[in-house]
């Protein structure tokens, strides 16, 4: 075989190889946005999980604060009632501020539906 007969065969092989390489590069090029979107979506899903966890922690803290507030309000109410009762048993006048605090606390409980 001489070089003149091998040359067309090599050209066909190289052309097929070039077509395969160009096709592979084209497929990779078209798949690039999809890969970028997958990366971004997975990152956003991770951030959403972090946000949800922080919200659950915040809700727990709010629940604890609400319970603490309720205990403090009940304690203040008990102290006011004790002071009013003491004033009544000792036949001393009840101060206007103490009476006002008692009324405000009753009003607060009436509005909130607690007690």
Q: What pLDDT is stored for residue 114 in this prediction?
A: 57
Residue 112 pLDDT > 90: no
Range from 19-23, 26-30, 39-43 carrying the lowest mean pLDDT: 26-30
pTM over 0.75: no
Residues spanned by the domain of 100: 3-112
Burial class (CB in 10 A: 0-12, 13-18, 19+), 101: middle
Q: Which residues of 48-67 are buried (b: 16+ CB within 10 A; e: fewer)?
A: eeeeeeeeeeeeeeeeeeee
Number of domains in the chain: 1
């Amino acid at each position: 075989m001489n070089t003149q007969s091998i040359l067309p065969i090599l050209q066909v092989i190289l052309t097929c190889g070039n077509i395969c390489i160009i096709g592979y590069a084209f497929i990779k090029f078209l798949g690039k946005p999809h890969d970028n979107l997958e990366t971004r979506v997975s990152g956003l899903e991770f951030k959403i999980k972090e946000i949800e966890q922080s919200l659950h922690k915040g809700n727990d803290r709010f629940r604890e604060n609400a319970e603490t507030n309720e205990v403090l309000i009940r304690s203040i109410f008990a102290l006011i009632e004790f002071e009013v009762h003491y004033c009544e048993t000792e036949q001393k006048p009840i101060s206007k501020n103490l009476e006002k605090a008692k009324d405000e606390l009753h009003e607060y409980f009436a509005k909130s539906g607690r007690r």
